[in-house]
Amino acid sequence: MGTTDILVKFALIVVIFLISLLIAMYSTYAERKIAAFMQDRVGPNRAGPFGILQPLADGAKMFMKEEIIPANSNKFLFIVGPSLAIMTACIGSAVIPWGQTLVIGGHPIDLQVTDINVGVLYIFGVVSLGVYGIMIGGWASNNKYSLLGAIRAASQNISYEIAMGLSIIALLMTTGTLSLGKIAADQHGFWSHGWFTWNVFKQPLGFLIFIVCAFAETNRAPFDLPECETELVGGYHTEYSSMKLGFYLFAEYINMFVSSAVMATLYFGGYNFPGMHYLADAGVAQNWITIIGVIALFAKIFFFIFFFMWVRWTLPRFRYDQLMDLGWKSLIPLAIANIVITGVVMNYFIK
What is the tens place of the pLDDT at every residue in 118-159?
A: 889 999 888 888 889 989 999 999 888 888 888 888 888 889
Axis-axis angle for helices 119-140, 144-175 (nearest 10): 180
d(CA 268, CA 240): 38
d(CA 50, CA 115): 40
- Reference 82, options 140, 161, 15; nearest CA is 140
Predicted structure pTM score: 0.93
- Dihedral sign, Cα of residue 233, residue 43, residue 223, residue 317: positive
pLDDT at res. 127: 84
Distances (CA, A) of 63 to 89, 128, 246: 20, 29, 9
Alpha carbon 284 to its chain centroid, in Å, reads 32
Considering 43-57, 96-110, 200-214, the range whose residues carry the highest mean pLDDT is 200-214
φ, ψ of residue 226 to 5 degrees: the values are: -60, -20
φ, ψ of residue 108 to 5 degrees: the values are: -75, 135
Tens-place pLDDT, residues 249-299: 899 999 999 999 999 999 999 999 988 888 888 888 889 999 999 999 999
d(CA 273, CA 258): 20
> What's the mean pLDDT in 317-345?
92
pLDDT at res. 105: 79
d(CA 31, CA 58): 14
Residue 322: enclosing H or E segment and its boundaries?
Answer: helix 320-325
Residue 302's pLDDT band (boundaries 50, 70, 90)?
very high
d(CA 101, CA 274): 18
DSSP line for 278-294: HHHHTT--HHHHHHHHH
Of all residues in the chain, what percent carry a pLDDT higher than 70?
97
d(CA 170, CA 200): 12
d(CA 186, CA 189): 9
CA–CA–CA angle 129, 132, 135 (5° rounding)? 155
d(CA 336, CA 332): 6
d(CA 67, CA 117): 43
